[in-house]
Structure 1
Amino acid sequence: MEHTNEDTAPDAPLIGEREGAEPHNPSLHLRSFGNTFVWALTISACVSGLLFGYDTGVISGTLVSIDTDLSSRKLTNIDKGLITSCTSFFALVASPVAGVMADNMGRKNVIVVADGLFTLGALWQAFTSSVWGMILGRSIVGLAIGGASMIVPLYISELAPGHLRGRLVTVSLLFITGGQVIAYLVGWAFSSTRGGWRWMVGLGSIPAIAQLVMLTFMPETPRFLARVRKDADARTVLSKVYRGMVPDTTEIVDGIMLAIRKGLLEEEEAHLQLKSSDSRSALMPPALHSLLFHPPHTRALIITCTLQGLQQLCGFNSLMYFSATIFQRLHFSSPTLISLTVAGANFLLTLAAFGLIDRIGRRRILLITIPVMVVSLLLCAVAFSYIRSAPADHFDVPTSSAELPSASRLPALGILFALLLYVSTYAIGLGPVPWQQSEMFPLSVRSLGSSLATATNWGSNTIVGLTFLPMMDLLTPTWTFVSYAVMCSVGWVAIYHIYPETMGLGLEEVGELLKHGWGVKESMEKLRILKSQRVE
């Protein structure tokens, strides 16, 4: 259901009210779509998402355009696997480091570091002349992506009003998918230019430099400011966030600050109790110890890592990295242009997710869309089984431009249709929902928990990047896509049992769901109450 001005959910829980209480709630008068300040901050932060999407998408067209420009030879499958997987591997390395940096130097400063790495990595790739130089450039970009992919959703979620949080975090996904579309357009534009791939990768430096300028005007998040006891600055930012949404921001700002302080005190007390009863606490940082051994935090970590792992192990980024390779193997006349349709579908359906995620809810979207993904993957597997007569014994890209046998053209179109259906349902559900991860963690462990979940994403991404082409060779395309379908099915079962609905809840309220269990039944009951309040 769409939030209206009568929503009681967005920020009332931040005041720490018990269920059933009926105090005055200033958020009753919140305007649905926020103000200029909130949207300006969101868009400025999301430039990192644009870079994330561009640098993951541009490699698809780059791989089929390099030819013999690197190390004076054609790229092998091993070269391609290393060039793609090194990015995700170093994103995996950067994610937990970025979490620690976010707690020590602030959310905003992590974005600054990421921009510097984006610029350096893009220019390094553009001027390298060897395969290993390309791998180094992609590794630098991977460090930037790892930091940006963790910090941007966290930054937005800590700034966003509760009733807009899902939508605003999804905006970062729109920028990611938009970046992928731009990458494919640039790839197509330079695909027939000798050495055009250098322009493809080098242009990624421009948005990074632009965002460095924008960061001059961006504040730190109020929750980080409150955590480092800069309460006056936190109140100033919160007042700007809620300006125009309520007649007087004082009451709602007071309530949020009270809830933040209350949450920090409760977390500190819980940590002291855990520390006194567990001798292992002296061997690791407090936040990590709490995530691993304090049950509510551990449940949040399990949920977020499960979602992020599933997002990658379902095989989606194999399409982002190797879609042009797949379509060239199927002898489409313009594989990069065909890949653009995949990226375009991803972008357009992420727009749908923007409208649905705070209406239908995170949990329900996943439970609806993942079965469609399974069907799409199985359709793709069946279609691939009819293209066994295609030339070449391996899935490596042939240099010949010969057409597939006419009997294989229809299955090739079937593969394109199945992949578009798969990407469309992924973009609505499994694409944006895992990036709502920050809302699952309380403030004391939010950045570290988010970084570990993001590291799970990139670890799984690395596995997919390294194994996709070998699986296509060894297992055949049919069984490769069947394996991804099985992974989606297992993930659906896990989501059904452990993922609560967080739509409309304030950040400080979400943690209440996980105190004594997975909170699935409790969250659905809260959703029923919320819907009944809207009807009234």
Structure 2
Amino acid sequence: MYKRVPSRDLVDGFDREEILGQSQNGVWNDIGNPSWKRPLPHVLVATMTSFLFGYHLGVVNDTLESISLDLGFSGSTMAEGLVVSTCLGGAFLGSIFSGWIADGLGRRRAFQLSALPMILGASMSATTSGLEGMLLGRFFVGTGMGVGPPVAALYVSEVSPAFVRGTYGSFTQIATCFGLMAALFIGIPAKKVLGWWRVCFWVSAIPAALLALLMEFSAESPHWLFKKGRIAETEEELERLFGASHVKSMMAEMSKSEKGDELDVKCSELLHVPHSRVVFIGSVLFALQQLSGINAVFYFSSTVFKSAGVPSDIGNMCVGVVNISGSIVAMILMDRLGRKLLILWSFLGMAVAMGFQVIAGSNDFPDFVKLYLSIGGMLLFVLTFSLGAGPVPSLLLSEIFPNRIRAKAMAVCMAVHWVINFFVGLLFLHLLELLGPQILYTIFASFCLIAVAFVKKNVVETKGKSLQEIEMALLPAV
């Protein structure tokens, strides 16, 4: 349907003096930053998938007890665990195929496709009369969750101007936090109102349907269109997102960074030079993010608050507020301090917070001191995580991966994320009983310090640079 235009022909077809106004040293004259307002509506629509991601992670938090009673598996920890973990299994499967879907169908269609199983799965969970229907519904929801977030990271980075890309990239983390809080808030009546848990699942179908509908009116990624050789459409979307005055310079920049005319990339290529290094960095970052113990802290937060005499719903809301507050601060600082500095201090702060948890497990302090250290350490851990280790990895990876491999490399890294997430959730309580809190939290703190060293050595700063500038800078190194 579309003829691929070689990069050199595309560059030669531009009037370079008209586009660039080059100075004597060959540097492009600054024509000003694009408007940040143009891409904002498209970014907000894309972050709805992150809202759904957070909502479905939290929807069974307060409702699981009611669900187990109504569906007849109350008291079965295995069945309750399956209701939670089946969603993670579906997410792993969805994340594996997300790159191929995003590359094959485009970013907009990938969003719409991710919304369909979330609508179907939520409807099945809301209407089921048995455990089997609940598990099947959760699995369908999980596949949508697996596809959506990596595509959202790609899309936001590809439609955002460089000077606000960090800010817009933080929107996905904030949306996830709002989704978690919405699920906790809507689930409050579940323990008192018979069948309310069904309403909680029905509610999630509304934003999923809105995502599918509004994506029909959103812009397609110019980078994907350019990769497919659809030059006229690329120019149209660039004008829609950044304004007519920036179209030609961006087209020239994209053509300069394009290193080949192949439209597809094999999975095996991600494991070899020149792409293996950036894929390794991305996979390790996501692995360390999960091995830091963040999800273990979330899973265990209710128990900590109960021991302090704080109702679990109030405690969970406190965690949610801290998480959102940190994410908003990260959004403000992302394009000022840079990605690398935020994630370095974030992991370091998480190590300190885990140190408080280790001290809280000691018998050398009064009970009230240990309780304050435990709660304070947990909230500090969530806060420092939301400042960097939470929002930065997905944004950073969508920036450092070359256009040709971006979608599939993100899929591989997200698959690593889900595998580690699954095993941390599966083994945390067993290891806590086997090793004790002091040893286990020391292990988590050690992973945080390993992350600091890894980031310092391997992560490059991407603040304020276009995706093409980042790609051109990294290619010689890899």
For normalisation by structure 1, the TM-score amounts to 0.80
Q: Please list, as runs of the form range in 1=range in 2, the aligned pairs for 1:89-238 lying within 5 A after superposition.
A: 89-238=89-238
Cross-structure match for 2:351: 374
CA separation of 1:298 and 1:73: change in aligned 2, threshold 3 A: same
Indicate which of 26, 34, 37 corresponds to 2:36. 34
Cross-structure match for 1:486: 446
Cross-structure match for 1:289: 268
CA separation of 1:262 and 1:512: change in aligned 2, threshold 3 A: closer
Matched residue SS, 2:70: coil
Partners of 2:126 and 2:304 lie apart in 1 by 25
> What is the letter of the counterpart of residue 351 of structure 2?
V
Residue 259 (str. 1) matches residue 263 (str. 2): no
CA contact (8 A) 1:188 1:337 kept: no
CA contact (8 A) 2:359 2:373 kept: no
> What is the letter of the counterpart of residue 474 of structure 2?
L
Cross-structure match for 1:317: 295
Deviation beyond 6 Å, 4+ runs, structure 1: 15-18
Cross-structure match for 1:337: 314
Please report how far the alpha carbon of residue 211 of structure 1 lies from its aligned counterpart in structure 2 after TM superposition: 1.6
CA separation of 1:480 and 1:50: change in aligned 2, threshold 3 A: same
CA contact (8 A) 2:73 2:131 kept: no
> What is the letter of the counterpart of residue 212 of structure 2?
L
Partners of 2:372 and 2:184 lie apart in 1 by 20
Please report how far the alpha carbon of residue 17 of structure 1 lies from its aligned counterpart in structure 2 after TM superposition: 12
CA separation of 1:267 and 1:114: change in aligned 2, threshold 3 A: same
Please report how far the alpha carbon of residue 38 of structure 1 lies from its aligned counterpart in structure 2 after TM superposition: 0.8
Q: Please list, as runs of the form range in 1=range in 2, the aligned pairs for 1:353-372 lying within 5 A after superposition.
A: 353-372=330-349
Q: Percent identity?
A: 28
CA separation of 1:75 and 1:162: change in aligned 2, threshold 3 A: same
Please report how far the alpha carbon of residue 254 of structure 1 lies from its aligned counterpart in structure 2 after TM superposition: 1.4
Deviations 1:442-485 (A, max 9, x none): 11111101111111111111111211222222223333322211
Deviates more, 1:41-50 or 1:84-93: 84-93
Partners of 1:122 and 1:225 lie apart in 2 by 33
CA contact (8 A) 1:369 1:426 kept: yes
Residue 383 (str. 1) matches residue 360 (str. 2): yes
> What is the letter of the counterpart of residue 193 of structure 1?
V
CA contact (8 A) 1:362 1:433 kept: yes
Partners of 1:503 and 1:101 lie apart in 2 by 28
Matched residue SS, 1:73: coil
Partners of 1:319 and 1:170 lie apart in 2 by 22
RMSD over aligned Cα, in angstroms?
2.7
Deviates more, 1:191-200 or 1:423-432: 191-200
Indicate which of 353, 376, 383 corresponds to 1:417. 376
Deviates more, 1:453-462 or 1:194-203: 194-203
Cross-structure match for 2:11: none
Partners of 1:74 and 1:306 lie apart in 2 by 38
> What is the letter of the counterpart of residue 41 of structure 1?
H
Residue 468 (str. 1) matches residue 445 (str. 2): no
CA contact (8 A) 1:287 1:444 kept: no
Matched residue SS, 1:138: helix
Deviations 1:178-200 (A, max 9, x none): 11111221222434333333333
Residue 305 (str. 1) matches residue 306 (str. 2): no
Please report how far the alpha carbon of residue 234 of structure 1 lies from its aligned counterpart in structure 2 after TM superposition: 1.0
Partners of 1:409 and 1:173 lie apart in 2 by 34
Partners of 2:361 and 2:148 lie apart in 1 by 36
> What is the letter of the counterpart of residue 283 of structure 2?
C
CA contact (8 A) 2:68 2:80 kept: no
Deviations 1:481-536 (A, max 9, x none): 22211111112111111111111111011123333437xxxxxxxxxxxxxxxxxx
Partners of 2:439 and 2:126 lie apart in 1 by 37
Indicate which of 451, 459, 474 corresponds to 2:411. 451
Partners of 1:126 and 1:386 lie apart in 2 by 47
Residue 25 (str. 1) matches residue 3 (str. 2): no
CA separation of 1:16 and 1:193: change in aligned 2, threshold 3 A: farther
CA separation of 1:117 and 1:197: change in aligned 2, threshold 3 A: same
CA contact (8 A) 1:222 1:237 kept: yes
CA separation of 1:189 and 1:478: change in aligned 2, threshold 3 A: farther
CA separation of 1:469 and 1:414: change in aligned 2, threshold 3 A: same
> What is the letter of the counterpart of residue 507 of structure 1?
L
CA contact (8 A) 1:50 1:175 kept: yes
Cross-structure match for 1:503: 463
Partners of 1:186 and 1:434 lie apart in 2 by 30
Cross-structure match for 1:60: 61
CA separation of 1:118 and 1:353: change in aligned 2, threshold 3 A: same
> What is the letter of the counterpart of residue 427 of structure 1?
S
> What is the letter of the counterpart of residue 336 of structure 1?
D
CA separation of 1:184 and 1:210: change in aligned 2, threshold 3 A: same
Cross-structure match for 2:5: none
Cross-structure match for 1:399: none
> What is the letter of the counterpart of residue 289 of structure 2?
Q
CA contact (8 A) 2:21 2:28 kept: no
CA contact (8 A) 1:184 1:343 kept: no
Residue 435 (str. 1) matches residue 429 (str. 2): no
Deviations 1:188-219 (A, max 9, x none): 24343333333333321111112222122112
Partners of 2:261 and 2:341 lie apart in 1 by 34
Partners of 2:389 and 2:356 lie apart in 1 by 19
